[in-house]
């Protein structure tokens, strides 16, 4: 059991959820407000994607990231900023016997350094690295993260002094994390997010979760989350396993059956669960100290 827990709130994500939740943060102002709302509810870290304000779809636009980050930093609320670096690795193959040419409507594939353009400009305290390629059970879509891409991104993030949060979806991703540690691409403390219950990744049952925990690198600081209706039960699972917690509308839209949530409500419920278990919630300052972050 981890009795000193920090909560991360993933406030919007990039998935096709804008038409499922009328209150999903889409504009930079809404995303910044959601991060601030989550922090006031008890989150130490806000994990941030941006979306095209016109379409609601995920975006890599540096200007959108800049507006979100500037709004958060100018507010009177402290929160650790964690920007995704997962965009720019999307491939959608053509259907059936014609996988090529790629589907231009869903494909967004750029080089590893271009995927970090917003990180290089804005220097958040944390950015994510998805530590492997995944299918996500979405027909012909592939989230692409080759070892070469990830090594290039890890080296750049290390040079920038940003802490990478290593998104681990399955046991093989932990093997790769350990390779990057041996190669000197990751500084201590290594920060790992166990992403459980994702289609075709590691399921979120207790035995699989603990198998992942038992394979973590020594000294790693880890968080865990699950998606959908298991998000809130997994708050307890992650803390019991010795980790920290992530909730938010990126991974789950509901606070109860048929009840759409806000990010603040999901954080408040996580806080209730954790404090009911006897855990202390870490502040942003305490999370920075634990993770040895470079405050901007």
pLDDT per residue as tens, the chain (296 positions): 999 999 999 999 998 888 899 999 999 999 999 999 999 999 999 999 999 999 999 999 999 999 999 999 999 999 999 999 999 999 999 999 999 999 998 999 999 999 999 999 999 999 999 999 999 878 899 999 999 999 999 999 999 999 999 999 999 999 999 999 999 999 999 999 999 999 999 999 999 999 999 999 999 999 999 999 999 999 999 999 999 999 999 999 999 999 999 999 999 999 999 999 999 999 999 999 999 998 76
pTM: 0.95
pLDDT at 294: 83
Q: Are strands 163-168 and 7-10 parallel, antiparallel or unpaired?
A: unpaired
Alpha helices by DSSP H, listed for 98-198, are 117-122, 147-160, 171-182
d(CA 222, CA 238): 9
- CATH, range 4-291: 3.20.20.70
pLDDT at 138: 81
SS3 state of residue 266 = helix
pLDDT at 295: 73
pLDDT at 82: 98
**212 φ/ψ sector (left φ>0, alpha ψ -120 to 50, else beta):** alpha
Name the DSSP letter for residue 228.
G
């Amino acid at each position: 059991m981890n009795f000193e827990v920090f909560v991360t709130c993933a406030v919007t994500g990039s998935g096709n959820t804008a038409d499922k939740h009328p209150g999903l943060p889409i504009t930079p102002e809404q995303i910044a407000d959601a991060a601030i709302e989550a922090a006031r509810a008890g989150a130490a870290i806000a994990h941030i994607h941006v979306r095209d304000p016109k379409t609601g779809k995920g975006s890599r636009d540096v200007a959108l990231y800049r507006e979100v980050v500037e709004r958060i930093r100018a507010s009177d609320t402290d929160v650790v900023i964690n920007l995704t670096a997962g965009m720019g690795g999307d491939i959608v193959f053509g259907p059936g016997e014609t996988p090529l040419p790629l589907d231009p409507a869903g494909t967004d594939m750029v080089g590893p350094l271009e995927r970090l353009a917003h990180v290089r400009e804005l220097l958040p305290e944390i950015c994510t690295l998805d530590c492997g390629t995944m299918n996500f059970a979405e027909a012909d879509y592939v989230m692409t993260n080759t070892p070469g891409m990830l090594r290039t991104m890890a080296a750049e993030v290390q040079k920038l002094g940003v802490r990478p949060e290593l998104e681990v979806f399955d046991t093989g991703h932990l093997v790769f994390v350990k390779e990057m540690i041996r190669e000197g691409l990751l500084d201590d403390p290594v920060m790992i997010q166990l992403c459980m219950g994702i289609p075709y990744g590691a399921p979120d049952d207790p035995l699989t979760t603990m198998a992942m925990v038992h394979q973590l690198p020594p000294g790693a600081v880890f968080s865990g989350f699950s998606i959908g209706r298991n998000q809130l039960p997994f708050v307890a699972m992650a803390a019991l396993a010795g980790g920290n917690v992530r909730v938010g509308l990126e991974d789950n839209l509901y606070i109860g059956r048929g009840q759409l949530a806000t990010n603040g409500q999901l954080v408040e419920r996580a806080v209730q669960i954790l404090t009911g278990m006897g855990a202390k919630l870490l502040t942003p300052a305490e999370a920075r100290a634990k993770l040895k972050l470079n405050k901007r």
